[in-house]
């Protein structure tokens, strides 16, 4: 397969791929930083064709909006409610687990941030998913600002971050936004 590389750094990486060799961390950084996206796409297509031909696979994922109650009031948001408003809802861990089916491989949790939810409640959700569906990774997106404010002194802030990282490693947890 011929690729007209604009970024010549990609050439040696492509040679490795063609010989079935593992890429190094440095190779990964080159791929991450390159602006030669056409060549990058062609390399990715080459690898995909080697692995599975014309078959295409998808990860089955499920989005769970655990609550619409939110301590913040982002201007663009048409989703959030304040606690006590008629349409406000908050799911328990059991509610969430009841929505997940065994074939799911990724659970995306996104929604509001109730002012009175302790960090432990989020961990309980992740633990519950991990125990009942060990094949599924869990991704939480949301604005963590309230917890940083709550744990605003450096010591407990560090503790919170360490806890997040530990849980992330343990439960394949990704925290974003
Ligand atoms: S943090 Fe999210 S749910 Fe809360 S108000 Fe902002 S956009 Fe809405």
pLDDT digits (tens, 9 = 90+) for 28-82: 999 999 999 999 999 999 999 999 999 988 889 999 999 999 988 888 899 999 9
Same domain flag for 41 and 103: no
Q: Which atom of ligand 1 is nearest to the CA of 79?
A: 8
Residues 24 and 103 in one domain: no
Burial class of residue 176 (count of CB atoms within 10 Å of its CB; 0-12, 13-18, 19+) = exposed
Domain assignment of residue 3, yes or no: no
Checking if the pLDDT of 150 tops 60, the result is no
Give yes or no: residues 124 and 77 share one domain. yes
Cα–Cα distances in angstroms (integers) from residue 32 to residues 35, 54, 122, in the given order: 9, 25, 32
In this structure, is residue 30 part of a structural domain? yes
Contacts 24+ apart (CB under 8 A), 98-104: 99/62, 99/64, 100/62, 100/64, 100/129, 100/132, 100/133, 100/136, 101/62, 102/133, 103/60, 104/60, 104/61, 104/62, 104/133, 104/136
Same domain, 36 and 67: no
Residues 158 and 94 in one domain: yes
Q: Do residues 73 and 122 both lie within one domain?
A: yes
Q: Tell the residue nearest (CA) to atom 2 of ligand 1.
A: 112
Q: What is the pLDDT of residue 72?
A: 82
Quote the ligand 1 centre to 114 CA distance (angstroms).
Answer: 10
d(CA 91, CA 67): 6
- Report the alpha-carbon distance of residue 138 to residue 134 in Å, rounded: 10
Ligand 1 pocket at CB < 6 A: 70, 72-74, 77, 79-80, 112-113, 143
Distance 140 CA to ligand 1 centre (A): 14
**Which of 70, 81, 176 has the most ligand 1 atoms within 8 A of CB, as the residue to mutate?**
70
Are residues 100 and 83 both part of a single domain? yes
177 three-state secondary structure: coil
Domain identity same for 42 and 96: no
| CA–CA distance, 131 with 134 (Å, rounded to integer) | 6
pLDDT above 50: residue 177: no
Report pLDDT digits (tens) over 87-102: 999 999 999 999 999 9
DSSP state of 24: P
User: How many structural domains does the chain have?
Assistant: 2
Q: How far is the CA of 52 from the centre of ligand 1 (A)?
A: 40
Atom 6, ligand 1: residue with shortest CA distance: 74
Q: How far apart are CA 176 and CA 74, in angstroms?
A: 17
Q: Judge if 83 and 167 occupy the same domain.
A: yes
More confident call, 113 vs 171: 113
Give pLDDT, residue 61.
92
Pick from 1-5, 16-20, 158-162: least confident? 158-162
Q: Tokens 């304040």 map to which residue?
A: 82
In a domain, 2, yes or no: no
pLDDT of residue 97: 96
CA of 111 to the centre of ligand 1 (A): 7
The answer to whether the beta carbons of residues 11 and 43 sit under 8 Å apart is no
Q: Is residue 1 one of the residues assigned to a domain?
A: no
Q: Which is nearest to 19 in space by CA: 37, 6, 1, 4?
A: 1
Predicted confidence at residue 163, as pLDDT, reads 58
Q: Which residues contact 144 (CB under 8 A, 6 or more apart)?
A: 175
Host domain of residue 161: 61-176
């Amino acid at each position: 397969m011929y690729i007209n590389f604009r970024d010549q750094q990609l050439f040696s990486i492509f040679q490795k791929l063609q010989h079935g060799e593992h890429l190094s961390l440095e190779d990964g950084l080159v791929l991450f930083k390159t602006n030669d996206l056409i060549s990058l796409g062609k390399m990715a297509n080459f690898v995909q064709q080697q692995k599975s031909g014309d078959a295409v696979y998808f990860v089955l994922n499920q989005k769970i909006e655990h609550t619409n109650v939110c301590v913040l009031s982002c201007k663009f948001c048409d989703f959030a409610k304040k606690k006590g408003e008629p349409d406000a809802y908050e799911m328990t861990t059991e509610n969430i687990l009841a929505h997940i089916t065994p074939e799911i491989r990724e659970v995306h949790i996104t929604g509001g941030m109730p002012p009175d939810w302790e960090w432990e409640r989020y961990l309980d959700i992740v633990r519950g998913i991990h125990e009942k569906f060990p094949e599924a990774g869990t991704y939480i997106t949301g604005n963590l600002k309230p917890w940083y404010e709550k744990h605003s002194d450096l010591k407990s802030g560090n503790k919170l971050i360490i806890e997040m990282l530990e849980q992330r490693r343990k439960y394949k947890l990704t925290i974003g936004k």
